Structures are given as structure tokens and as C-alpha cells.
Structure 1
């Protein structure tokens, strides 16, 4: 999609990472072997054909599949490679953790492939490795997501393992404590990491007394208190058919996918029991908060109100953001903060539309003695682009880049599946891929002015700086 989302930090479990790498490596090796096998037809013009995923980036190839049991999925049927990629999500995520239970979604998602059915964690992971199947889960603030990668010849085993993980996870005591220990180790590392501290502090200040204010990965106090009953209850409440979205790309027909959807998800509860989450705007805008940390560089996060993803003015706002700091090498922030003054190696901005809040961020890391100057430059550029808008040349270049680079989001089957899933979650319509570039191309100076006016409040931002910053202007604390 067109904007980054803030996700819960990935689980820092070395054993799980090793197993995933082994399965992915085995899958890759088997794909290479099959590609070179005499059984795979070799054609002189193969190298001129588009990659399967790149050719999938049009609506005519997307089929909405409805299973006999009523479960919906979007499918791109492609037999170029003997591979199936599935992405799916249950709405809910860490926003459903509940008061005092921060990290529950993260812990639950991390345990779904740690034993299921009759297989404990070791046996389940071995079954995945034996068939070169990759199954993984993670949780963001708004969703619990899963993915499946398998060769076509192993699809029976792959879908059966996924069925077990989704419907019959064991949550064995050994696995719970092992994964809990890994999460705790990650939280201890994050407690001294400037980027993690800044992000956590920003959300804590922006969303007091709201689920978004709780850290998705949990805290050193909350994670030890989570029980197996909490985990079982979270899975029961949040994993259901009515809040499920699925996208599949690869060597599977619509008819077969319909049957597989019922096999994997058909026995889940019909309706999720989600706690209501209120729409919210970030608080403490105009405040500057410093977290003292003895490090040579200060991390700066400047966040303010943005637009929701389905807002009619989101695309013009997206173009504004690209010009401000969304482009890696041509944005205003890059030119002024890095190229002209050499204050930072990396500086960027991005829109972050969440289910219940629209946000707009800019961030950088700079020497402590230049933290004040860098912060002022970023804040001034926020205000300037909202007040004056971009130049005609900037607008032209932004439209050209954003439309020309869009196809890069579809250069693998996994990326296509991920894009299709996000389009569903954002409720943009099955034809969005066909419409998207036209929407960007149609952005005019008047659209920019209108969107900028709606974002005018963004000139006031919540600024969090972690380090030993110097040269800061006095602001409201």
C-alpha cells in the first residue's frame, strides 16, 4: 500500500528465526531444482516474459473466490512457478490486548506455529521443514496476520499444517515460557535502544488511556503476568470468520482454493468478540519531550495528525508527504537536512493510517549537538509545505515517480499477496490496482491546497527526542 504502518516489533527469538531461514532456504533450493529440471519446459522467450507477480498487477487477473462455506478470498491464479503464497489477517491485533495485558496479541501470534494438534513445537517445526513449508504469524496494533509459502507439490501438507495452527494451537507450557523468555530478552534490549524508546514514548504520550498507547510488544511488567488462559482467550475472541481477510497468489485454481479455505478456516467461530476501539486523534501536539540517554546521537520522532486511508484526500496528502520526506533522495527533508547541512544520514517522513487514527511522522538520528537544528528544520518544512504547497516541478516529479515505481510493489508473489491483503483491509475495492496510478496522476495543485488545509493542524506536532540533545528551543513540557 501507499503508507507505512507501525507494527509490533518482531519477535527476537533466534531459534524461531533459524527455523524460518532453514525452511525458506529449503523452499528456495527446491524451486531452483524444479526450475532447472527437464520436466520444466524451457522456452527461448522465457526471459522476456514478465515475472509472475509483476504481470498480476491488474484487476482482470484478480478473482474473488467464495468458498462453499462463505469464506471470501482474492486470488491471482498463476502457474509460472509451482508455488503458492497466501497472506491473511484477522482484524483486532494488539488493540484487543486489554488494560494491563500489553503484549498479549504479540505473544499469542508468536505461539500459533509452536505446536498444534498432536504435534509439540519440535514436531510441528520439523513437519514444516520436511516439506519446505513456511508458516508464520505476527501481530500489529490493528490485525493479527499470517502467511503461508509452499511448493505446489506439498500443498496438501502445507494447508493441513496451517489448519492445525489456526484451529488447534497447543500453547504448551514449554513453548509459552520459551517464547515469553525471547520476548523479554527483546524488551530488555529495546529498553536501551533509542529508536524503540522514542517510538514507545511517542505513542504513550499521543494516546493516553487508549489501546494505541500500549506497546504492542508488551512491557517488562506486563509480559510476565500473561497466562495461558489469557492466550487461549485472545485466540478465541479474535480469530473468527467474520473478521478474516485472505489473499492468495500462485498455482491453485479458484475451485480448489474455495475448498482449502473451508478446510483451513471453516471451523473457526462465525463471529469475533472484539472490544470496541474508539477513533482517536493524537494528544499532546505542540509538546516536546526529551528522554535522556547517554548515546552519541539523538533520535528524533515528530508525529502529528494525518488522514485515514479511505479519506478522499489521502492521495493528495500522500503526494505532499512524498515531496516532504517520502522520497529517499529527492525530498525536501533529504536535501535540507542531509545534503545541504550534513546533519543526518537518513531523514524521512511517512503517513501512517491506522484503523482508528490517521498519523503523519518524520524522523531522523543526528549528533547530539545538532539535534536542535535538525528538529527545527524538520518542523519548519512541515509548516512550509502546508502553507505554501509544492512547486509545479515538484508535483510533476512526484506524480511521475509514484506512478512509475508502483509496479515494484508487485515483483514477487508474496508482495502481490501482501498488497492484495492490504487493499482488502483498507477497503479500497478489488479494482484499486487499476485505479491507483490514475488517482495519483489526477492530483492537481488545487487538490494539494485542499489536503494541506485539512492537514493545517499538523504544523503542531508531538516531538520526542531520545539522547542528549543540544540546542533545543524551549517548548511546552
Structure 2
């Protein structure tokens, strides 16, 4: 095995402000671009009871107008810098990011902070967003892989777990979303404590921090109120296998997901788990790909992955096959994964996994 080399990080600085906001500044020499990203503790795990999907819904509406300008004005603000505003919601966070030419750094930060922290949530925009969300959820019912993915989350975590529902929620709950729900969620989750603002540019980290602090000085955060702490229950560990069958009469193929408790991102076994998963089914030359796709031709797509969130995670197997060969696919997958759990990967499989992950 090749000797490991130390990773040379670019010049950077990490500072926690008195407000609890963490600032990360990274110098990227020779690149005439400025990137900023704000993440706040407003992920799907924070969805209130009976309001699954509210974090995603609230974040989607950020682009639809602020207290200073309407949705068209926000579009002009972003597009006027030649940029695209990306908004992403995971189980643990909501994040907004922009990349612009370096000389527009202050404008970019101002725009990012305005969109993130000054939403209007106009009634007509909330109503339109609700219609779009309900339409998208209805479309998901026609896509077997989407149905399987949504069911896997609930089965793996259990319905009482903060991670135990799809990010986009359920139709019956999305139907109840209103402007007051958005305002209340934003006021209690878009707060500085637990948030992180990252800025990347050609300037030294100290200069980037000065720019960030100058723009933040103009910002008024919604609230310091904190919601009730989440209860991250231990994941269900049943003594035997459980099966959830969803019948879709018009489907000519069967989707298969196998889920078991995994590990959080903070686990000290993170790297060995990634390597082990790659050898099992996370790479194209892996145990399950060989057994299911190459040797038996049961499916074109076979994979395993570790869905690692901040507090806990899942280990997921994913594949599909013809209805007639579903039983065989289940048998082969369980047999190979059971054997792997007992004996682990071979040295040859480990070498291939490490080489694949290292990009060699």
C-alpha cells in the first residue's frame, strides 16, 4: 500500500463570532471568483410535528421575494451579477450559496444575506408554492424509485425519529402549510447560533473575514429564540427482518431497498466505513455489482451507500429487476451482504476500493 501523504490545505481561518455564527474564510489563489455559502440549522429534522416538509417549503420560498423586493426583483438582483443562487435542504441544514466574479464580493454577500434573512412570504407566493409542492408530491407517486426512497427513510429511522420522514414531506401535511407556518419556522431556525458563513476568494483569510463582518454588521437576524431540542432516538434494531411491500399494479419492474442502521458523519469509523461500503456495493467493481449484475444479469443498477447525517445514519442497498426475478434478487442480495458482514472484504477488494476512492 502506498504511503499516505499529508493534505496541504489552502490558507484559511475559522472564527466563532459572539453571536454564535461561525465564519470560515478560505483563500483560493489565482482564481478570480468569490464564493459565499450560508448554512443554518433549519434542515428537515427541524420540521414541527404534523408539518413534515416545512423546512424545504420555507427554503424554496426564499427566492420568491424579500421585504425589499418581489420575486422578479430577486431574480434581477441575482442574475445581474451573472450568478445562480443555489438553495439546498438536507436533514440537518438549509444552505444558500452564490459564486460571482471577485469584484462583486460585497454585492454577493448583501444579496445572499437579504434573501436568506429577509423573506416576505407573500400570501400569493405561499399559495403558489403549495400548489407546486403538492403537484410534485403527486408526480412522485408515479415514479416507483421515488416511492421506494420515501418509504425507506420512514422504515429505516422509524416515524418518531427527527430524520424519519422525507425532506419534501407528505401531501396531507403540505396541504396545511400557510404564511404563518413559514414565518414561525424562519424566525426560530434561521438564527446565528449553529449557523456557518463560508467565504472563498483570492484575498487572504483576514481580508475575507473583514468583508464578511462588514456585511454582517448590517444584518438583523430574525430571532434568538430556540425551538425545543430534538430527540434523536436510537434507531430501531429489530431481532429479525421486516418487509414493507408497496403494490403498484402497472409496474413491470420491482424496486428493492434494503436498509439497516448506519453511522453518523461524526463517527471515528467514517473512513473505514466508506472503504468497506465501496468494496461491498459503492463502486462499479464491487461484490454486489459482480454478483447481481455481472454474474447473473439480474439488474443494470446495483449500489450500496451510507446515508450519514449529523446525528445518525442508514446503510442502504438499492436495485431493481423484472417482477419475475425479484425473489432471486432478494435472495442474492441478502446472502452476499450476510457473508460480507461475517467475513469482511478480501485484501484484493480493499485495494480496489482504496484505489477507486483515491482516484488512482
Range that drifts further, 344-353 or 239-248: 239-248
Q: Are the counterparts in 2 of residues 68 and 259 from structure 1 also a CA contact under 8 Å? A: no
Distance 2:17 2:83 in 1: 23
Q: Is 1:261 the equivalent of 2:215?
A: no
Range that drifts further, 389-398 or 343-352: 389-398
Q: Which residue of 2 aligns with 1:181?
A: 131
Change (3 A) 1:283 1:392: closer
Q: Is 1:281 the equivalent of 2:223?
A: no
Q: Are the counterparts in 2 of residues 239 and 272 from structure 1 also a CA contact under 8 Å? A: no
Distance 1:275 1:351 in 2: 28
Q: Which residue of 2 aligns with 1:402?
A: 357
From 241, 253, 265, the counterpart of 1:309:
265
Distance 1:104 1:312 in 2: 32
Q: Which residue of 2 aligns with 1:296?
A: 252
From 112, 122, 134, the counterpart of 2:84:
134
**Structure with the greater relative contact order (CA < 8 A, sep ≥ 6): 1 or 2?**
1
Q: Which residue of 2 aligns with 1:220?
A: 171
Q: Are the counterparts in 2 of residues 277 and 356 from structure 1 also a CA contact under 8 Å? A: no
From 161, 184, 187, the counterpart of 1:236:
187
Q: What are the equivalent positions in structure 2 for 1:418-437 lying under 5 Å apart?
A: none
From 197, 200, 203, the counterpart of 2:150:
200
Q: Report SS of the residue matched to 2:255.
A: strand
Q: Are the counterparts in 1 of residues 292 and 302 from structure 2 also a CA contact under 8 Å? A: yes
Distance 2:267 2:79 in 1: 44
Q: Is 1:84 the equivalent of 2:37?
A: no
From 269, 275, 287, the counterpart of 1:319:
275
From 336, 339, 360, the counterpart of 2:294:
339
Distance 2:206 2:84 in 1: 23
Change (3 A) 1:72 1:382: same
Q: How far did 1:69 drift?
A: 6.8
Q: Which residue of 2 aligns with 1:365?
A: 320
Q: How far did 1:326 drift?
A: 0.7
Output the TM-score relative to the length of structure 2. 0.89
RMSD: 2.2
Change (3 A) 1:355 1:71: closer
Q: How far did 1:81 drift?
A: 2.6
Q: Is 1:171 the equivalent of 2:125?
A: no
Change (3 A) 1:173 1:264: farther
Q: Which residue of 1 aligns with 2:22?
A: 72
CA offsets 1:89-126 (integer angstroms, 9 cap, x no match): 21241111111111110111001121113200111112
| Structure number having the greater helix percentage | 1
Unpaired stretches in structure 1, ≥5 consecutive residues: 1-56, 406-477
Unpaired stretches in structure 2, ≥5 consecutive residues: 1-6
